[in-house]
Amino acid sequence: MPRITLRGDFINKAYKPHMNNPHRYQLYFGGSGSGKSVFLATRCVIDTLSGRNTLIVRQVARTLKSSCWNEVNKAIARLGLSHLFTVSKTDSTITARNNGAQMIFAGLDDVEKIKSLTPQRGVLTDIWIEEATECAYRDFKQLDKRLRGPSRYGKRITLSFNPVSRSHWIYREFFSIFREDRPYAESGAVSILKTTYRDNRFLTDDDRAALEGERDPYFYQVYTLGNWGVMGDVIFTNWRVETLPDPVPGETRMGLDFGFAADPCGFLLLRYERKTKRVYVLEELYEKGLTNLRLAERLAPYRRLGPIACDSAEPKSIAELRSLGIDAYPVKKGPDSILHGIQWLRQQEIILSPACEKLREELSAYQWQRDKDGRALPQPQDRNNHLIDALRYAVGNEMTARFAFTASKKTLGL
């Protein structure tokens, strides 16, 4: 490989540790103008000169020229390395003259072409998916399978994107390791880096002003701050994951939704701070196949914390738990109690411990039912709700005492 020296200020500080990131699955996400694509284009250029073969894709082939193709060519020019590459617009390839390694550009809208693509020497070692939220899960899995064959380089698949909805497969697949209060996470084969415009020293003052002046709440959260947003018919948007304060304020509450074979048992330990309307969720239990005896054993460490509110539809299970020393009691259910609970919870601030991964998944996916014409109905889908039900039970006495309920679409925000 030719000897290349990069000036210290050539790459934004946040990305420097990732020039040689070895993780198989690498996610670079955040706000607009954060420099993700420029960094990855620069890294691809250096990697190609060192012998790596990279497939660079977007969902639609015609969008590649105005994005990744241009960024890579600009990176080559910035580095002063044009003499070391052969650029073929016809084949959509850029080849390193020193070793024959290639960057190959393709759209995911031509699946058969993707299956037949192969570098002229060696095997694919890298795939970069730009605007990865456009990519379907099945296409991602197919691309992952393309990284095979003997190579002295570790295989890597890189996803770069602005976050969209928490219901997206990328969030469900990878983000259980990510904490909202930290910009970087890694675990096993996965690494995730979040950046925003504040990490890009090359932006102009006008660029920053435009991002900071965004007035649409959703676009400000997603494209300025780089946060996962919520769109569509997802019911709960008033929650976040962060490290909880120590001590956690509020009164202790616990809720339990029974399950066994097909459905898991769901238990939550939380604290409710009435003054600020904050629900802090500390711990969760989410498990199938628990007999009442085994469930009582799992709940034993929580005995000293107070009573546990349970689904009143299972009086036999409640009685058995009580005989085993668990202070379980049935919640009171009135007409439209589910909608009552949803309406009340939507007016609180729900803060989850990073340990509560299953509740996080449920809140991300819990949606309204739709009628035959696709319109949202004021009735939630009866799935992805075991821990949400436990959450409603845990704070049920607060709702009964302090809330007047109406189940209109307007009240529910539909």
> What is the model's pLDDT at position 393?
96
Q: Domain count for the chain, please give it.
A: 2
Tens of pLDDT along 75-126? Answer: 999 999 999 999 999 989 999 999 999 999 998 877 667 777 889 999 999 9
Report the 10 Å Cβ neighbour count for 298. Answer: 14
pLDDT attached to residue 111: 64
The whole-number pLDDT of residue 7 equals 62
CATH label of the domain that carries residue 78: 3.40.50.300
- Pick the range with the lowest mean pLDDT from 29-33, 131-135, 363-367: 363-367
Of 174, 201, 224, the residue that ends a domain is 224
pTM above threshold 0.75: no
Tens digit of pLDDT for each residue in 349-403? 999 988 888 898 888 778 888 776 666 777 888 877 999 999 999 999 888 654 4
Partner residues linked to 238 by β-bridges? none
Task: Return phi, psi of residue 287, to 5°.
Answer: -155, 140
- Whether 370 is in a domain gets the answer yes
CA separation, residue 352 to residues 103, 269, 283, 372 (Å): 42, 11, 9, 35
Which ranges of 197-336 would DSSP assign to H, the alpha helix?
205-212, 217-219, 292-299, 315-323
The chain-wide mean pLDDT, for the chain, equals: 89
Alpha carbon distance 32, 225 (integer Å)? 8
Is residue 58 in some structural domain?
yes
| CB environment 259-290: b (16+ within 10 A), e (fewer) | beeeebbbbbbbbbbeeeebbbbbebbbeeeb
Domain boundary among 172, 197, 224: 224
Query: Does residue 229 lie in a domain region?
Result: no
Which residue segment(s) compose the domain that 408 sits in?
239-412
246 and 216 together in one domain = no
Looking at residue 403, what is its pLDDT? 44
CA dist., res. 181 & res. 241, Å (int) = 8
Does the structure show a pLDDT above 80 at 160? yes
Give pLDDT tens digits for 283-342: 999 999 999 999 999 999 999 999 999 999 899 999 999 999 999 999 987 767 888 899
Contact 113, 123 (CB under 8 A): no
Q: Verify that 280 and 331 share a domain, yes or no.
A: yes
For residue 43, the model assigns a pLDDT of: 97
Provide φ and ψ at 406, rounded to 5°: -135, 140
Domain ends where: 224, 248, 275? 224
Give the pLDDT score at 413: 58
Residues 209 and 319 in one domain: no
Write down the pLDDT at residue 404: 43
230: in domain: no
pLDDT at 233: 61
Shared domain for 198 and 269, answered yes or no, is no
129 pLDDT more than 80:
yes
